[in-house]
Amino acid sequence: MRKSISMGRIIAVIAAVLTVFSCVVTAFADTGPKPSVHVSFENLEEATCYATLLSSTSNYGPWSAWDGREENAGGDPTPEIWMAFAKYEDPDGYYFLRNIWEVGKDKGFAWTYWPPTDFKVLVYFPETGEFASTGALTRKAFDTFYIVKFEGHGIAGAEYDKENSSDKRMYAREIENYKYMFASAGVRLIVTIVIELVIALIFGLWRGKSLLIILAANVATQILLNVVLLLAEIFLMPTWTYILFIALEIGITALEAWFYCKTIPKVWVSWKNRALLAAGELSEKKVKSLNAPSNRRLIIYAIVANAASFAAGWIISFV
């Protein structure tokens, strides 16, 4: 008697196997252009100063506020400067995300890697120990520019520099992504079907209508996968898209494994062979060869096939 298999067990096994691939994803999930915030200062005196962006949230992208532990304290540009920023208390509860720039002759700085969305510009003068801060600002473009005006060691105001701010990099990236996504989706579908059918033959899953079931399942799940990823590319940041990609692969593998367990055994023996079996006209050897594959075999096939197609799809996405 065949033992029933639960979806929960299938998901648990598949999640454990495909989690290994998440380590690979982490290495590549940070590709592509990132938004930036550029700050220039006017009327700033020649005194040495340092600047940063305070964030409205304690975590943003790879950045996070200091947790107060000495082993996690920084020393760039110097331990004293770093600690002065770390101990600064913003009246509105904004956070120092442990990133500091020395304001040099160019009288400005640029945060080009995951800058916070809502922020304040904070400037520190180490010779006097004074801080100067703007009010709340926000990123208004893919590449956002602000001009901060000084009066002595105080900030008179900050203006959004619309002329230099631009969304060109974002638009160019989106157009490139759309063209690539449609081409990539087609290639992924073909490669996935070929890989999974070949692996099905290796696993001996060719009797009855097994290959047709595998083909139909992969066409359906690949269409679903690519539609969801297209929407994710539009509405989510790249990192979240890759995380969603992994989650979808786990879910699709579980769904396919469950579907194969429920359907393939039922179509394993053709109507002709069923009639011959009922009439007792098949040899003992032939009867044994018609035994349907076990649930374990079908689940292992689903994991191996989807892991192989996942790896191939991942390679395609970076070619």
pLDDT tens for residues 268-281?
876 665 565 555 66
Q: Is the pLDDT of residue 115 over 90?
A: yes
Q: Which residues pair with 124 in a beta bridge?
A: 50, 131
Query: Taking phi first (over 0 means left), then psi (-120 to 50 degrees means alpha), and beta for anything else, what does residue 129 get?
Result: left
| Residues 227-237: tens digit of each pLDDT | 887 777 666 66
Residue type, 71: E
Cα separation, 242 vs 306, in Å, equals: 16
Lowest mean pLDDT across 18-22, 56-60, 63-67, 192-196: 18-22
- Helices (H) and strands (E) counted in the chain, each on its own, are 8, 12
Q: Is the pLDDT of residue 114 over 70?
A: yes
Q: Is residue 11 part of a domain?
A: yes
Kindly state whether residues 304 and 176 are assigned to the same domain: yes
Higher pLDDT, 269 or 17: 269
Q: Which pLDDT band holds residue 243 (cuts at 50, 70, 90)?
A: confident
With contact defined as beta carbons under 8 Å apart, do 125 and 103 qualify?
A: no
Kindly state whether residues 241 and 287 are assigned to the same domain: yes
Q: What is the pTM of this model?
A: 0.53
With contact defined as beta carbons under 8 Å apart, do 153 and 45 qualify?
A: yes
Higher pLDDT, 15 or 224: 224
Residue 98: domain span: 36-138
Q: Is residue 149 part of a domain?
A: no
Q: Calculate the CA dihedral of residues 64, 65, 69, 71 and round it to 10 degrees.
A: 50
* pLDDT at 151 (0 to 100): 87
Q: Is the pLDDT of residue 21 over 60?
A: no
> For 45, which DSSP code?
-
| Residues 56-110: tens digit of each pLDDT | 999 998 899 999 988 888 888 899 999 999 999 999 999 999 999 999 777 899 9
* pLDDT at 288 (0 to 100): 57
Q: Is the pLDDT of residue 248 over 90?
A: no
* pLDDT at 214 (0 to 100): 94
Kindly state whether residues 176 and 311 are assigned to the same domain: yes
Return the H-helix or E-strand segment holding 285.
helix 284-289
Q: Which pLDDT band holds residue 189 (cuts at 50, 70, 90)?
A: confident
With contact defined as beta carbons under 8 Å apart, do 211 and 197 qualify?
A: yes
Strands 49-55, 137-138: pairing is: unpaired
Higher pLDDT, 46 or 28: 46
Kindly state whether residues 211 and 295 are assigned to the same domain: yes
Kindly state whether residues 98 and 224 are assigned to the same domain: no
* pLDDT at 239 (0 to 100): 67
Q: Is residue 150 part of a domain?
A: no
Q: Is residue 76 part of a domain?
A: yes
With contact defined as beta carbons under 8 Å apart, do 113 and 35 qualify?
A: no
Kindly state whether residues 21 and 41 are assigned to the same domain: no
Edge-to-edge, what's the strand order for the sheet holding 154-160?
108-111, 36-42, 143-151, 154-160
Kindly state whether residues 82 and 117 are assigned to the same domain: yes
Could you check whether the bond before residue 77 is cis, i.e. omega within 30 degrees of 0? yes
Q: Is residue 151 part of a domain?
A: no
Q: Which pLDDT band holds residue 25 (cuts at 50, 70, 90)?
A: very low
Please tell me which of 27-36, 177-186, 299-308 the model is most confident about, judged by mean pLDDT. 299-308
| Residues 145-156, mean pLDDT to the nearest whole number | 90
Question: Considering its fold, how many domains does the chain have in total?
Answer: 2
Q: Which pLDDT band holds residue 133 (cuts at 50, 70, 90)?
A: very high
Kindly state whether residues 23 and 61 are assigned to the same domain: no
Q: Which residues pair with 59 in a beta bridge?
A: 64
- Please list, in sequence order, all residues whose beta carbon lies within 8 angstroms of the beta carbon of residue 165, skipping any fewer than 6 positions away: 140, 141, 143, 144, 145
Q: Which of 118, 138, 158 is the last residue of a domain?
A: 138
With contact defined as beta carbons under 8 Å apart, do 38 and 110 qualify?
A: yes
> For 142, which DSSP code?
S
Higher pLDDT, 291 or 273: 291
Q: CA dist 171 to 26, 36, 142, Å?
A: 25, 15, 9
* pLDDT at 45 (0 to 100): 79
| CA 98, chain centre distance (Å) | 24
Q: Which of 138, 160, 189 is the last residue of a domain?
A: 138
* pLDDT at 176 (0 to 100): 56
